[in-house]
């Protein structure tokens, strides 16, 4: 079995370029596949390999003071979901197209075991911060679908559909948590006072929540050859990736983006 690890950390790095070569060298030394993305605001990664090697890679990162606080989530897959080892340096880990700095402020974290009670409260609006096609194959019951094609559209969605005077308590979720970190920081700058996000994202919820008690409906899209996972982070059957644009589709479904 191949171990798959996901992690991110918003931490000021400045010029991250000098970190690229040593991280890539360590990945290749440990035969780790996948992608590590670096930016002035921090690190984001999904990597895979033998479990001991993945743990060694994470421990290597933790030897660096700026990455000491990294925590990661492990799942397993029968084959290697990535073909290459990559370390990218980008201007941002994820772009919202608006000012938002998670190193200054973020919303309140909500543990998976407390999530159901929050999103079923009458005064809470729950928002899916992922792309529309991700929502289409799976989402939390009652969550709003902003129907975005890119994360940058969340700022426009906010201005058109949300009001801090009306929406007093806003909950949000994404795959692993990174998009919510950025979006919750943005909402706080826009005057929203009570902002909550699912700690560890959908993946943590599906890993920890028994299916019988779950408010999750459908599948969770992941950005590798597994395409989607379900409860227990097992690969979902019946979900495929469009060879034209990479979006998730149900088996036999025609891609609306490529038609």
Q: Which backbone phi and psi does 215 adopt, to 5 degrees?
A: -105, 10
What letter does residue 197 receive in the DSSP assignment?
Answer: E
Question: What gap in Å lies between CA 101 and CA 18, rounded to an integer?
Answer: 23
Residue scoring higher pLDDT (195 or 258): 195
Residue 249 binned pLDDT confidence (cut-offs 50, 70, 90): confident
Question: What gap in Å lies between CA 16 and CA 204, rounded to an integer?
Answer: 28
Tell me the pLDDT of the chain averaged across its residues. Answer: 94
pTM recorded for the entire structure: 0.89
Length of the chain counted residue by residue: 259
Taking the CA atoms of 127, 152, 203 and 139 in sequence, report the sign of the dihedral they define: positive
Mean pLDDT, rounded, for 91-110: 92
In percent, the amount of the chain with pLDDT more than 90 equals 80
**96-105, 169-178, 247-256 — which is least confidently predicted?**
247-256
Active site residues: 174
pLDDT given for residue 224 in this prediction: 81
Domains of the chain (ranges; CATH) run 2-89 (3.30.70.100), 108-214 (3.40.250.10)
């Amino acid at each position: 079995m191949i171990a798959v690890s996901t992690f991110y950390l918003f931490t000021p790095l400045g010029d991250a370029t000098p970190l690229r070569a040593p991280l890539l060298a360590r990945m290749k030394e440990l035969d780790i596949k996948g992608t590590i993305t670096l930016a002035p605001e921090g690190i984001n990664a999904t990597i895979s390999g033998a479990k001991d090697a993945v743990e060694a890679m994470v421990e290597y990162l933790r030897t660096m003071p700026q990455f000491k606080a990294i925590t990661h989530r492990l799942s397993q897959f029968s084959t290697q979901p990535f073909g290459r080892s990559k370390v990218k340096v980008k201007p941002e880990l994820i772009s919202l197209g608006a000012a938002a700095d998670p190193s200054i402020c973020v919303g309140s974290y909500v543990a998976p075991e407390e999530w159901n009670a929050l999103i079923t409260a009458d005064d809470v609006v729950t928002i899916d911060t992922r792309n529309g096609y991700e929502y289409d194959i799976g989402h939390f019951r009652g969550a709003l679908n902003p129907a975005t094609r890119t994360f940058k559209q969340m700022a426009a969605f906010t201005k058109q559909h949300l009001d801090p005077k009306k929406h007093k308590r806003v909950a949000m979720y994404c795959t692993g948590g990174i998009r919510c970190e950025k979006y919750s920081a943005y909402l706080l700058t826009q005057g929203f006072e009570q902002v909550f996000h699912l700690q560890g994202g959908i993946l943590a919820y599906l890993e920890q929540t028994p299916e019988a008690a779950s408010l999750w409906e459908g599948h969770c899209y992941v950005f590798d050859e597994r395409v989607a996972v379900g409860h227990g982070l097992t690969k979902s059957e019946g979900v495929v990736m469009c060879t034209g644009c990479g979006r998730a589709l149900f088996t036999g479904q025609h891609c609306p983006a490529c038609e």
